[in-house]
Copies of this chain bind each other. A is one copy, B any other.
Amino acid sequence: MLFSDIASHLKLELVGEDVEIDSMNELSLSSPSQLSFAVHKRYANELNFSKAKAFLITNALIEHLPKGSSYIVCEDVSISMAEATKLFHKKPIEPHLGDAVVGEECYIDSMAKIEKGAVIGSNVTIMAGAYIGTNVVVGSNTVVYPNVTIYRDSVIGSECIIHAGTVIGADGFGFSHTKEGRHIKIYQNGNVIIEDDVEIGANCAIDRAVFNSTIIRRGTKLDNFIHIAHNCDIGEYSIFVAQTGVGGSTKLGRNCVVSGQSAFSDHLEIAPFSTFTARSGVTKSIDKSGGVYSGFPLMNHRDWKRLQVRIAKLNE
> Which A residues have a C-beta under 8 Å from some C-beta of B?
92-93, 107, 109, 111, 113, 125, 127-129, 131, 133, 143, 145-149, 151, 161, 163-167, 170-171, 173, 175, 181-183, 185, 199, 201-205, 207, 219, 221, 223-225, 227, 229, 237, 239, 241-243, 245, 247, 254-255, 260-261, 263, 265, 278-279, 281, 283, 296-297, 299, 303, 306-308, 310-312, 314-315
Cβ contact within 8 Å between A131 and B312: no
- List B contacts of A297 (CB < 8 A): 308, 312
Cβ contact within 8 Å between B225 and A205: yes
Cβ contact within 8 Å between B201 and A203: no
**What is the distance, in angstroms, from A261's C-beta to the closest C-beta of chain B?**
5
CA distance A310 to B310 in the complex (A): 12
| Given A147-B129, A165-B167, A245-B261; A224-B173 close (CB under 8 Å) | yes
- List B contacts of A93 (CB < 8 A): 107, 109, 125, 127
Cβ contact within 8 Å between A239 and B163: no
Cβ contact within 8 Å between B167 and A92: no
Q: Which of B173, B242, B243 contacts A221 (CB 8 A)?
A: B173
List 10 A-B pairs, minimum CB-CB distance, nearest first. A149-B164, A113-B128, A131-B146, A167-B202, A170-B202, A202-B205, A205-B224, A310-B314, A173-B223, A163-B170
Cβ contact within 8 Å between B315 and A307: yes
Can you name 21 A-B pairs with beta carbons within 8 Å?
A92-B125, A93-B109, A113-B146, A129-B131, A151-B164, A161-B171, A164-B167, A165-B205, A167-B203, A171-B199, A171-B201, A173-B221, A173-B242, A202-B205, A207-B224, A227-B242, A243-B243, A243-B245, A243-B263, A278-B283, A307-B312
- List B contacts of A107 (CB < 8 A): 93
Cβ contact within 8 Å between B129 and A149: yes
CA distance A51 to B241 in the complex (A): 33
CA distance A219 to B254 in the complex (A): 39
CA distance A283 to B92 in the complex (A): 41
- List B contacts of A182 (CB < 8 A): 219, 237
Cβ contact within 8 Å between A229 and B205: no
- List B contacts of A165 (CB < 8 A): 147, 149, 165-167, 203, 205
Cβ contact within 8 Å between B170 and A224: yes
Cβ contact within 8 Å between A183 and B239: yes
- List B contacts of A311 (CB < 8 A): 307, 311, 314
Q: Which of B111, B173, B221, B242 contacts A183 (CB 8 A)?
A: B221
Cβ contact within 8 Å between A129 and B129: yes
CA distance A40 to B147 in the complex (A): 40
CA distance A224 to B245 in the complex (A): 10
Cβ contact within 8 Å between A279 and B281: yes
- List B contacts of A145 (CB < 8 A): 92, 149, 151, 170
Cβ contact within 8 Å between A243 and B219: no
Q: Which of B133, B219, B310 contacts A315 (CB 8 A)?
A: B310
